[in-house]
């Protein structure tokens, strides 16, 4: 966030000396209490599902599509890529543009 150093200040330099040490520490303590309350509020965290849940009874159905004629399997990352991503071909070794 940019700061406008030419803007007039809200307080004069003479007013700074008028505050006592107790006022300054009380104001700082109030700011710290507000920050602690914001951090301690954990209502949104309670609704998160943790990754330790047992999913052994769950089934996953995936539709597998065979490799098409215009695709190749990269011999470095083993991902199926489109033929226009082929960057290097030496013998039967095909390498995609990301792995070059």
- Is the distance from CB of 86 to CB of 72 less than 8 angstroms? yes
Determine, yes or no, domain membership for 99: yes
- Total number of domains in the chain: 1
pTM over 0.85: no
**CA atoms 50, 52, 54, 56: torsion sign:** positive
Q: pLDDT tens digit string along 43-98? A: 555 556 667 778 788 898 999 999 999 999 999 999 999 999 999 999 999 999 99
Determine, yes or no, domain membership for 19: no
Range of the domain at 91: 67-100
Determine, yes or no, domain membership for 54: no
pLDDT at 16 over 80: no
Determine, yes or no, domain membership for 14: no
């Amino acid at each position: 966030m940019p700061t406008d150093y030419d803007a007039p200040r809200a307080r004069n330099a003479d007013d700074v000396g008028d505050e006592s040490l107790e006022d300054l520490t009380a104001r700082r303590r109030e700011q710290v209490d507000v920050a602690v309350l914001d951090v301690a509020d954990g209502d949104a965290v309670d609704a998160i599902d943790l990754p330790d849940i047992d999913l052994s009874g769950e089934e996953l159905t995936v539709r597998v599509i065979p490799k098409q004629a215009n695709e190749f399997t990269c011999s470095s990352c083993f991902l199926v890529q489109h033929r226009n991503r082929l960057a290097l071909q030496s013998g039967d070794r095909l390498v995609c543009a990301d792995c070059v």
